[in-house]
Amino acid sequence: MSPAPAPPARPGPAVLLVLVMMLGAVAAYAALVWPEWRRNPDLSHGLFAPLIFLLLVWESRQLGPHRWLPARAWWIAAAAAVAAAVSAGLGGADFDAARLANAVLGVFGMMGRLGANVRERQGMAYYAFSRLSADRDMGTWAAIAGVNPANVTRAVAAILDEAKRLQDEPVPADELQDVKRYLIGSLPLQLETNDGVASLLVDLEWDQLGLDYLKRYRGIIEGLTAEQVQAVAQKYLSPEAYALAVAGPDV
């Protein structure tokens, strides 16, 4: 007969004492800052910092030391390809149309068309997205991807293909409507914190959009057309003239 399995080891008194002390510390911490949380709920986010630290300590004890950036994992931005088109004066109607075009290109859903093509369809990147950084005078419209170093050339070509597609083909009505809903629905999320409200007010003043911009925002986005999206893509994106930066190991 085989010996009966040993019963699972129970935590010793020292472990239980440590757990009780941790729980007591969290409770004392919460009680200490509770008056401030009632005045400013945003401060409650600070509670998660010590909790996350404790979880990381527990994971380290369970898994042992390990690297957060595995040396052999190509998808951790082994090479980052950035194709940026410099754009001038993204103001007025161009600003909102370009914001909508950028959401189509590399933001909406799983990083827009770039994510759907470069990441999902071709499997060349762990992430691929676009970013529009407009200002009063000059700004950048950039596409960014973390790819296998061996796929940099193909990934850049796929990114440029999507930019050219945005120039050559009007965005289908259903896709355009989905992206509009996303832009309209995401605005209130920016106003959930004091930091978000302050940042938005600074942007409104700096970009001279007017304090009534939030009231006009929904109508502005809903009024944009596929032709306007195509026009700003043709005006500000240039698959033939762009700045390319690649960072990563030699291939």
The structural domains of the chain, ordered by start, are 13-62 (no CATH), 79-247 (3.30.830.10)
pLDDT reading at 95 higher than 70: yes
- Among 23-37, 135-149, 169-183, name the one with the lowest average pLDDT: 23-37
Least confident of 52-56, 152-156, 157-161, 170-174: 52-56
Dihedral of CA atoms 251, 159, 187, 47 in degrees, nearest 10, equals -20
Please report which confidence band the pLDDT of residue 107 belongs to, taking 50, 70 and 90 as the band edges: very high
DSSP-derived secondary structure letter, 115: I
Q: How confident is the model at residue 206 (pLDDT cuts 50, 70, 90)?
A: confident
Segment of 31-45, 61-75, 110-124 carrying the highest mean pLDDT = 110-124
* DSSP designation for 137: S
Is the per-residue pLDDT at 182 higher than 80?
yes
Q: Are the C-beta atoms of residues 39 and 32 closer than 8 Å to each other?
A: no
Which residues share a beta bridge with 139?
Answer: 87
> What pLDDT is attached to residue 43?
53
Q: What pLDDT does residue 55 have?
A: 65
pLDDT (mean) for 100-104: 95
Would you say residue 174 has pLDDT above 60? yes
Task: Output the pTM of the full model.
Answer: 0.64
Report the DSSP beta bridge partners of residue 138: 88
Residue 194, pLDDT > 80, answer yes
Residue type, 129: F
Q: Give yes or no for residue 47 having a pLDDT over 60.
A: no
Question: 40 pLDDT exceeds 60?
Answer: no
Helices (H), 88-243: 93-106, 108-114, 152-168, 173-190, 194-206, 213-223, 226-236
Specify which of 7-21, 169-183, 207-221 reaches the highest per-range mean pLDDT: 169-183
User: Band of the pLDDT at 73, cuts 50, 70, 90?
Assistant: very low
Using pLDDT thresholds of 50, 70 and 90, give the confidence band for residue 137: low
User: Is 136 in contact with 87 (CB distance < 8 Å)?
Assistant: no
From 62-71, 120-129, 164-173, the region with the lowest mean pLDDT:
62-71
